[in-house]
Amino acid sequence: MSNKIIDKRMSAKEAVEKFVSDGDTIGIGGQSIGRVSTFLAHEIIRQNKTNLTLVGCNLSLSMDLLVGAKLVKRTECGSGSFERFGTAFQWRNAIQNNLIEVQDYSHLAMASRFLAGSLGIPFMPSKSMLGTDLLKSQNCNDKKHFEIIDNPWKKNDPVVLLPALQPDVSIIHAQMADKSGNIIIEGFTTHEPEMIKASKKVIVSCEKLIDSEFIKSNPEKTTIPYIFVDAVIEQPWGGYPTSVYNYYEHDSDHIIEYQQKAKAGGKEYSDYLNKYIYDCKSFEEYIEKASGPTKQKYLKDSMQKLL
Amino acid sequence: MNSNFSLDDLMVIEASRYIEDENIVLVGTGLPMIASLLAQKLYAPKMCYVVETGNIAPEVIPTPSSVCDPRVMYKAIKHGSLLDSLGGILQRGLADIAFLGGAQIDQYANVNSTVIGDYNNPKVRLPGSGGANDLASHAKKILIITRHEKRRFPKNCDYITSPGYLNGPNGRKNAGIPSEYPEIIVITNLCVMEIDKNTGKLVITKLMPNISIDEVLTNTEFQPLIKSPVKNVSHPTQNEINVLHKEVDPFGVYLKTH
């Protein structure tokens, strides 16, 4: 049966060359310090794709790296936060210096926009954000970012309509996928199921490439069927320094190092990008520089203790 | 009186006292999470903790750094999606309590976590709404916990990220917010303030031990109403202090250890 399966495996280099273009709207997977698609974000930075619009919920490290590398013109998201480790500082600095456009939404609003996109309908009604300044600022460009109507079935009941969002391409890092792109996400899935199904193209990296027979024997485990996915790359540690449930814990030391550099900006930050991205021949080289075998064992053991 | 506690400790302990058993509670991380976990250990063992990333009813391991931390996924009954948590439970109207922090809280209990200064010309950009706006729009009761500083309590927020009573007693209803007249309780290290439903404004209802009204007013930019007679926040029991320090935040991640 294996000959019936479409093989979407390719390198990250190939996938980004093929599916990411300058000016694209990119859906960003993961959240905060969990399952962030660092591996694919690094590759986009290496290929210097510019003029990007980034969309998602709490976009922490991927967004901050892409903004810090000066590849982003606009973000539409719910927050830029590493939670206990602070704000997304490069993103913050870019906003404070008017270097990027921002459209703020709540997390549910962003998930609702992806849901509309995934259902092929033009908008989704919501009862979030009403009365607040999140619905006061249609100020980024000439597109309407929301519309408030009266509920057709109930008088004096304002409802906000949110435009569907279909990213040109989404990048996510999952625990497992088979070569055709059937994805298994373990643990929380945040906004990813709707975002992936709404996206025109999807690149997925995974900790472990699994046999398609495993998917067929355990279909209830499939988070996303292959029909939504365009490229599959096996990349252990692809979410580092954030955590990947069942595999490894987040690396506080490296997150703190990143946050210090991102907050300082200037040469300190460009040194970080050089050391860990531009001067690395591969993502593995970054992982080795940033963590090493002892740290890696610690992060794996630490996750096992939390399961 | 127990002297081995700080007002920060008591702020968290007092906040935990507003959660009832079997409540469905939507919480992020930080002090709101610490207070909810304390409640679960002390008064609300059957509380259902819902995390916006999709985790439902985990047995939280101390001390998580994030809503994505595996420590908020342990022994959950479901690892779901953000749409499950913020849509299917919260917007659906099933959340009894939402628990927030915030950089600014104004006289109507509106919360700002987006920007200090003008949105288009920010002095300091903050992380943004996250799920906070959703929590404040849909929960039946809203708890807000924050350290009491003058700059945190302006007359009006620079930006309203999450709705309190907006601009008056019917502000929420007029805007179409589903939870029209929720209780809102603000717990700080100096006092407790609650929304007065007749005015839609915050009223000081309780004071922390050895804190005077004047001290609260000096540290608040707006003029809160004062409920007469103003009560005192009950001193913590030894058990409350022990559970907080030994089980909920044993490494002093969010609260200084003693």
CB contact under 8 A, A84 and B29: yes
CB contact under 8 A, A127 and B73: no
Taking only the tens place, the pLDDT of each residue in B59-86 is 999 989 999 999 999 999 999 999 999 9
- Catalytic site residue from B20, B22, B52, B149: B52
pLDDT of A141 above 80: no
- Position A140 scores a pLDDT of 55
Q: Which of B66, B70, B175 sits opposite A32 (nearest CB)?
A: B66
* Over residues B165-170, mean pLDDT: 98
CB contact under 8 A, B81 and A188: yes
CB contact under 8 A, A104 and B114: yes
pLDDT of B179 above 90: yes
Residue B114 located in a structural domain: yes
Instruction: List the single range of A269-278, B86-95, B201-210, B242-251 with lowest mean pLDDT.
Output: B242-251
Residue B144, strand partner residues: B100, B186
* Over residues A215-224, mean pLDDT: 98
Q: Which of A132, A249, A307 sits opposite B133 (nearest CB)?
A: A132
Chain A residues touching B124 at Cβ < 8 A: 92, 96
Confidence category of residue A291, pLDDT binned at 50, 70, 90 = very high
CB contact under 8 A, A111 and B114: no
Residue B56 exposed, middle or buried by CB count within 10 Å (0-12, 13-18, 19+) = middle
Residue B173 located in a structural domain: yes
What count of Cα atoms within 13 Å lies in the side-chain half-sphere of residue A46?
Answer: 22
Instruction: List the single range of A48-62, A136-150, B164-178 with lowest mean pLDDT.
Output: A136-150
Count structural domains, chain B: 1
- Position B102 scores a pLDDT of 83
The CATH number for B120's domain is 3.40.1080.10
CA distance A84 to A66: 21
∠A72-A195-A86 over CA atoms, to 5°?
A: 55
Confidence category of residue B258, pLDDT binned at 50, 70, 90 = low
* Over residues A243-272, mean pLDDT: 98
Chain A, nearest residue to B254 by Cα: A84
The alpha carbon of residue A279 is apart from the nearest alpha carbon of chain B, in Å, by: 30
Q: Strands, DSSP E only, in chain B?
A: 24-27, 48-51, 55-56, 78-79, 97-100, 104-105, 111-112, 115-118, 121-125, 141-145, 183-187, 191-196, 201-207, 225-232
Question: How does the average pLDDT of chain B come out, rounded?
Answer: 95
Instruction: Answer yes or no: are the C-beta atoms of A45 and A65 closer than 8 Å.
Output: yes
Mutate to test the interface with B, among A107, A220, A304 (most CBs of B within 10 A): A107
The alpha carbon of residue B210 is apart from the nearest alpha carbon of chain A, in Å, by: 31
Residue A124, strand partner residues: A162
- Position B118 scores a pLDDT of 95
Is B52 a known active-site residue?
Answer: yes
- Position B128 scores a pLDDT of 97
Residue B254 located in a structural domain: no
Nearest to A194 by CA among A56, A21, A80: A56
Structural domains of chain A ordered from first start: 2-122+165-305 (3.40.1080.10)
Question: How does the average pLDDT of chain A come out, rounded?
Answer: 96
Confidence category of residue B253, pLDDT binned at 50, 70, 90 = confident
Residue B57 exposed, middle or buried by CB count within 10 Å (0-12, 13-18, 19+) = middle
The alpha carbon of residue A149 is apart from the nearest alpha carbon of chain B, in Å, by: 10
Chain A residues touching B76 at Cβ < 8 A: none
CA distance A233 to A225: 16
ipTM over 0.90: yes
Chain A, nearest residue to B82 by Cα: A190
Confidence category of residue A143, pLDDT binned at 50, 70, 90 = confident
Other Cβ atoms closer than 10 A to B239: 10
* Over residues A179-199, mean pLDDT: 98
Q: DSSP for chain A? A: -GGGS---B--HHHHHHHH--TT-EEEE-SBTTBS--HHHHHHHHHTT--SEEEE-SB--HHHHHHHHTT-EEEEEESB-B-GGG-B-HHHHHHHHTT-SEEEE--HHHHHHHHHHHHHT-SEEEESSSTTSGGGS---SSSS---EEEE-TTSTT-EEEEEE----SEEEEEEEEE-TT--EE--S--BTHHHHHHH-SEEEEEEEEE--HHHHHH-GGG-SB-GGG--EEEE-TTTTTTSBBTTTB---HHHHHHHHHHHHH-HHHHHHHHIIIIIT-SSHHHHHHHHT-HHHHHHHHHHHHHT-
CB contact under 8 A, B129 and A31: no
Domain encompassing residue B56: 7-248
Confidence category of residue A130, pLDDT binned at 50, 70, 90 = very high
End-to-end CA distance of chain B: 16
Instruction: Answer yes or no: are the C-beta atoms of A35 and A244 closer than 8 Å.
Output: yes
